[in-house]
Amino acid sequence: MNHIDPVVSPKWLLARMYEPDLVIVDCRFALGSPEEGKHSYLASHIPGAVFLDVEQDLSAPVGPHGGRHPLPDPQELAARLGRTGIGHDTRVVAYDDQGGLYAARLWWMLRWLGHDQAYVMDGGFAAWQAGGFPVTDAQRTLVPAAFVPNVRSGMLADVNEVRRTLGDPGVLLVDSRDASRYAGEQEPIDAKAGHIPGAVNRFWKGVLDDQGAWLAEPALRERLAPVIRALDDGREAIVYCGSGVSACPNVLALHRLGYPQAKLYAGSWSDWISYSENPIATGEE
């Protein structure tokens, strides 16, 4: 991975954690237990880290459409990030305790707003603790910064664009949920089971090894081979999941491999099924 790798090691962060242009963001979150991430942060976190909640800070309120974690208004998101000390020249390192699931969402959102100096810490808080690195319960004093968004609309796909891709051989849809949800065998969260017709399945956890660390490049290429082939052939790739969060590790993995053009369908499955006319597929493709 010869370009700047957006995934950094705990040791990399340890060496830079007190540099003034760095903001560390704790993104811990537990689906179904919305207070747990904040409680974990208040109990113990990387020194200097600020906390951003996936639902309260990094999503808009849920409406009839837009999915379970709708993207916030770019200006509102930029203002919120600015209040936590993230400005144009800030390097941001995000971590969580879910293999980078929520940290990758923040990485994607920063890039969507035009901010490239965004990173995800490999292995999350568990790897930091396993390294014997310092933790604290002290709160960082927030010094607001100016963050003016420069939105990259091309990173995003909406429901209309996804509808237009159905049956289009020039576009590959990538479903990032686990195989049983993709196949429609079970659906523990959303109102309808199945997947968007034509999508291939690449469960997001496949970009990690058994210890929860990011795969090295050869294994990552093998894991995402169908998507890479499509992109190498000049096709588009649109990645989705349940609510636009767990698709982000797949988007990040493709970015690491030199394919930053993969788009995120931010509303994802929970948005797709909010339109009764949208078709649903089950089983394997």
Those residues whose C-beta lies under 8 Å from the C-beta of residue 252, and which sit 6 or more positions away, are 6, 7, 100, 104, 107, 108, 120, 207
248 is catalytic: no
CA distance 246 to 105: 8
CA distance 185 to 87: 45
Residue 212: left (phi > 0), alpha (psi -120 to 50), or beta?
left
**CA 277 to chain centroid:** 28
Amino acid at the residue 47: P
Q: Which residue in 27, 241, 252, 254 is the catalytic one?
A: 241
Nearest in space to 184 (alpha carbons), one of 265, 285, 106: 285
CA dihedral 92, 69, 188, 179 (to 10 degrees): -60
Helix or strand run (H / E) with residue 157: strand 156-157
Active site residues: 241
